Amino acid sequence: MADPKVYNTVEMQDRVDQYISQFKEGYFSPLSMLARFTEEIGELAREVNHVYGEKPKKTSEDDNTIEDELGDLLFVTISFANSLNIDISEAFNRAMSKFETRDKDRWTRKEQTEVEKDEQN
């Protein structure tokens, strides 16, 4: 059964580090991490294609879900960040600041009532 706890980024990075640290091999090299990241992106793309695309699953294929594949991708992303001593929260804040500044006028804004409706859902 999955752990029902909600994790913040520090806890996620610590939990991944505790898992990886129990093995002699430790974290993979950056190039190997990138290969793993690419592999997981491919698995996510396959699931999205099965759900939203024209290619149905074979009856012999496992019942993976988009949620499962996003979880795998998150694990690899956190592992990659940990291996390079990158704080995920700090990286996220920098990325959001960039998008909020650079792209603030790029998209058509919703009317206030639309935003309020979205916040209620």
CATH number at residue 34: 1.10.287.1080
Q: Confirm if 106 and 31 have CB atoms less than 8 A apart.
A: no
Domain-located, residue 4: no
Measure CA of the first residue to CA of the last residue in the chain; give whole Å. Answer: 28
Domain-located, residue 103: yes
The total of structural domains in the chain comes to 1
Q: Report the alpha-carbon distance of residue 47 to residue 56 in Å, rounded.
A: 10
Tell me which residue range forms the domain holding 47: 9-120
Domain-located, residue 33: yes
pTM above 0.85, yes or no: no
- Binned at pLDDT 50, 70 and 90, residue 15 comes out as very high
Continuous H helices in 30-87: 30-52, 66-83
| CA nearest neighbour of 73 among 43, 48, 96 | 43
Residue 11: what pLDDT?
Answer: 96
Q: Report the alpha-carbon distance of residue 105 to residue 30 in Å, rounded.
A: 35
Domain-located, residue 17: yes
CB-count burial class (<10 Å; 0-12, 13-18, 19+) for 121: exposed
Q: What is the pLDDT of residues 61-108, one digit of tens each?
A: 777 789 999 999 999 999 999 999 999 999 999 999 998 998 888 888
Q: Distances in Å between the alpha carbon of 32 and those of 17, 36, 50, 84, 90?
A: 17, 6, 27, 13, 24
Domain-located, residue 3: no
Q: Distances in Å between the alpha carbon of 37 and those of 56, 71, 87, 102?
A: 24, 12, 18, 27
